[in-house]
Structure 1
């Protein structure tokens, strides 16, 4: 049988390459698998040979020990692959197809899926609505930072690229369709970005840079990105963003220096629950981003919140934060009639359109997020460098598809 190596979470600060079983069309018991999912038959699935699979900031939350992820959980929810086997219930996807895998696992049959709310599918995770590969409390579907991975409900979930050769030429861009590009786009759309908008994106990590790219694609007049990391801010400036160094203080005054007023039309939170305060010695203060966004977003505006927030954070700064309860100035949001959109991005709502933008040279997302291909063996090093603040989107190359 074909071997299969995978990147697994071991303990806080540590990932390792381990041997795992080659996928079968059944969800087996293992780290993080919900007992109600053990033995679940997947005749509607396919097995992919992984073309590219990316390290995500959401993975880093687990690796830092900031979730209840168990040891040996196989990581990876950003997956692009070539179909090598199809289950007996698969009708349209064929062996040899190269496809993007939305990080949301969705059945295509439930009420939410039929309403395009694929981030909160009701049938794939016994714990709660919504699921993802290789993620804590998401049902136990095995992650894709591996040589091979099982994808359920393949006819529904997979986005097939129309031309294999063209896809491989643009694969470093197309691999971003599994998560960060649609997620950043969702943040911008739900923040109300349109032609002529002024936009503030909190966070210059890959999702923040994807949100800034998306704001440009949607016609924003000015896109401002704020962060504490100077290298990541430089990456934002490389494709036309204005930037704010939050180590020098909060965003309002610096926004006023750029726009002439201390507010923007649209705000995006691309940071999430490990947010820090402002200033040179900023400490973790998880409500900072949301409260500052409410302060600087114009009355009647909207906040897109693709940044991850959790209900269980063992490393939270206080007992409330450990349960996901933050000290929000909700009165500010109410008084300004601000709208909020949170939760997983429904990737399938956007991924085909964004694929077309990539294939027809309307956007260069890989360049904008500074994508870098590394081997599966180098995954621990990639995790460490990303955690240290590298202004890089690490793309794992398990099977040698990437030049």
Structure 2
């Protein structure tokens, strides 16, 4: 039996690289499948969504192999795989999707109906997402391969841009989806909440979509400094508890055309205290988005949060001022990003030098063996996107 190692969740604030099973051609229920491939993982990233689990803010069980941002080389293909072969270098959407159900047919692959018996939507290495083994590992199984995977057209070219292309599995399409669903277009005034990797990807997406001004708010000085260095207007949320005032100081009025929530449920209130307030981002965005404007919400919100400060938060209930958004005819768009809707055109933007996303999000390559250190640094607010290199191919 071939060997494999992966990043395993061992409890609150603890992950460890351990020996894990080599992937088999079977689904989480143990049923043999022929539509999958086994990948040698070329790159796999640490995501903010992973951090929610590691902080103990979900019901994730110990022993889970983490990781849903995967790029890899096919080393084995099932007998039903027709259009991919061993040796192909592919990008893997974080959504596990069957390609057959009504939502997949509508390109809503984030809520596939057939890959998770518990609810709509599946993902690798994530709580309540169907039990699919994560890809922060040396090798991983990808099901429904013909539908889910995109082969890079030129392997050598792709490896030369691998630090950019590794972002196609999640954060770049997620940021792009947030910008598109918020209605960003030519000349838009845009505000992005959160200067982490998804927020930076959303800001970059707003720019490529034609925004005139892209502001990005955060409370961590290192992240704000990095956001400014890559071309965005930083908004220091510790300076005031009134977001409108901070926006007006940049564009002359406390109003934007579109806003993107790249923070999610672990948000903190503006001002120097910064106490946790799960609905604070949504409420502040409704206050600044103009009438008939849009709010894209790629930031994660959960149905169960055992670490919430109150009973309402433990079941995903938020104290939202929804009446304000209703009165202003706001558009809200939530949910997991359907990566397949966006990743092909974003791949082309990367390959043709239109979107240097690795630089924008601070891509930093580390060996798989140093994953625990990467988690700690990312959790402390480092202005970096950690890319794990299981086989030393990215050096």
> Same fold by TM (over 0.5)?
yes
**TM-score calculated relative to the size of structure 1:** 0.97
After the TM superposition, which of the residue ranges 187-196 and 228-237 deviates more from structure 2? 228-237
2:70 aligned residue: 79
Alpha-carbon separation, structure 2, partners of 1:376 and 1:42: 28
1:401 aligned residue: 393
* Residue 22 (str. 1) matches residue 22 (str. 2): yes
How far did 1:400 drift? 1.2
1:94-116 CA-partner distances (Å, limit 9, x unpaired): 10000000000000011110111
Alignment counterpart, residue 284 of structure 1, candidates 276, 288, 306 = 276
Q: Secondary structure at the match of 1:40?
A: coil
How far did 1:40 drift? 2.5
Alpha-carbon separation, structure 2, partners of 1:149 and 1:212: 31
Alpha-carbon separation, structure 2, partners of 1:327 and 1:41: 45
Q: Secondary structure at the match of 1:248?
A: coil
2:198 aligned residue: 207
Alignment counterpart, residue 268 of structure 1, candidates 260, 275, 287 = 260
* Residue 319 (str. 1) matches residue 341 (str. 2): no
How does 1:224-373 map onto structure 2 within 5 Å? 224-249=215-240, 250-373=242-365
How far did 1:401 drift? 1.1
1:49 aligned residue: 40
Alpha-carbon separation, structure 2, partners of 1:146 and 1:257: 46
Q: Secondary structure at the match of 1:145?
A: coil
How does 1:87-166 map onto structure 2 within 5 Å? 87-166=78-157
Q: Secondary structure at the match of 2:294?
A: strand
* Residue 385 (str. 1) matches residue 377 (str. 2): yes
2:60 aligned residue: 69
1:243-280 CA-partner distances (Å, limit 9, x unpaired): 11001123210110100010100010000000000111
How far did 1:281 drift? 1.6
**TM-score calculated relative to the size of structure 2:** 0.99
Q: Secondary structure at the match of 2:285?
A: helix
2:3 aligned residue: 3
What runs of 5+ residues in structure 1 fail to find an aligned partner? 28-36
Q: Secondary structure at the match of 2:96?
A: coil
1:31 aligned residue: none
How far did 1:41 drift? 2.3
Alpha-carbon separation, structure 2, partners of 1:131 and 1:229: 32
Q: Secondary structure at the match of 1:216?
A: helix
Alignment counterpart, residue 374 of structure 1, candidates 326, 345, 366 = 366
Q: Could you tell me whether the CA contact under 8 Å between 1:203 and 1:269 is conserved in 2?
A: yes
Count of residues in correspondence between the two structures = 394
Alpha-carbon separation, structure 1, partners of 2:172 and 2:32: 31
1:325-351 CA-partner distances (Å, limit 9, x unpaired): 000000000000001000000000000
Alpha-carbon separation, structure 2, partners of 1:94 and 1:237: 43
How far did 1:42 drift? 2.1
Q: Could you tell me whether the CA contact under 8 Å between 1:226 and 1:251 is conserved in 2?
A: no
1:123-158 CA-partner distances (Å, limit 9, x unpaired): 000010101000000010000000000000000000
Please list every run of at least 4 consecutive aligned residues from structure 1 whose deviation after the TM superposition is greater than 3 angstroms.
none
